[in-house]
Amino acid sequence: MSNEALIQSLSADLVPVRPRRMLREAGLVLGLGATELALFLGFGMMRPDMGEMVGSTYLLWRLGSLAILAAIICTVAIRSYSPTARPRRGLRLAGALAAAAMIGGIFVAPADVGDHTLLERLRPLHGILCAASIFVLSLPILAILGVLMRSGAPTHPRLSALASGAAAGSWGAFVFAFCCPFNDPLYVVVWYSVGCAAVAAAARWRLPRRFNL
C-alpha cells in the first residue's frame, strides 16, 4: 500500500476523539486510590493503637513520606504517557526522595530498637508477608495505570512501566502502613522497599509487552 492510499483510508473513516487530559486521569487514579483506602479502613484493617500513634514523628514520617512518594511517582507515570514526556528525570527525583525518606528514618527510630539483633529487627517471616500485602494492595492502582498507559502514547514504554509500578507500589505501601503494627524504621525501609520493588519489577516486565505505539 502506498503512503497516499494509507492516508486516504485513514482519513476516510475518521471519527472524533476526545483529547487526553492528564488532570482527568490523575483524578481517576486518586478516586480509585481513595476508594481502596476507604474500603481497607472500613473493613477494620487499621492498627488498633492508631489513636495513640497519631501525632507521633514516626507515623508522620511513615505515612507522610509514602504519600508524597506515591503522589510524585504517580504524576511522573501519568505525564510519561504523553509522547513528548521523558520520565527519566522524574524517576531520578523520586529515587532521590525515596533515599532521603529512608535516611530520615534514622532520626525517627523509637529508642528501644537498638536493643535487638538485626534478625530480630527485620523479622523476615512478617517482612515477607508485609511485602506480599503491599503487592496485593498495589494491584488496583497498577491496573488503572496499565489501562491509562495502553490508551496513552508513551515513547519510553519501559520507563513508563517502571514509573507505573513504582507509583502503584508506593500507594500499596501507603495503604498498608495504616495496618502495619511494626514501628522499626529499618523493618519499614527494608520490607516496604522489597514490596515496592517487586511491583515495579512486575510492571516493568509485564506492561511493555501489552503495549504497542
Residue numbers of the site for another protein (CB under 8 A)? 1, 3-4, 6-8, 10-12, 14-20, 81-84, 86, 151-153, 155-156, 213
Least Å distance, CB 79 to another protein, is 11
Shortest distance (Å) from residue 157 CB to another protein: 8
Alpha helices in 13-117 (DSSP H): 22-42, 50-53, 57-79, 87-104
CB nearer to another protein: pick between 82 and 193: 82
Residue 57 CB, nearest approach to another protein (Å): 41
**Min dist. Cβ of residue 20 to another protein (A):** 5
Instruction: Please say which residue, 41 or 153, places its beta carbon nearer to another protein.
Output: 153
Number of separate helices (H) and strands (E) present in the chain: 9, 0
CB nearer to another protein: pick between 12 and 111: 12
Q: Output 81 or 187, the one with its CB closest to another protein.
A: 81
CB of 147 to another protein, least distance (A): 14
When the beta carbons of 76 and 109 are compared against another protein, the nearer one is 76
Angstrom distance (rounded) from CA 97 to CA 74: 14
Instruction: Give 127 or 152: the residue with its C-beta nearer to another protein.
Output: 152
% helix / strand / coil in the chain, to the nearest 5? Answer: 75, 0, 25
Nearest approach in angstroms of CB 66 to another protein is 30
Residues ≥6 apart with Cβ < 8 Å to 108 = 57, 58, 60, 61, 185
Residue reference for cell 515477607: 128
Q: Which long-range contacts (CB under 8 A, 24 or more apart) does 103-109 make?
A: 104/61, 104/65, 105/61, 105/185, 105/186, 105/188, 105/189, 106/185, 108/57, 108/58, 108/60, 108/61, 108/185, 109/58, 109/184, 109/185, 109/186
Total residue length of the chain: 213
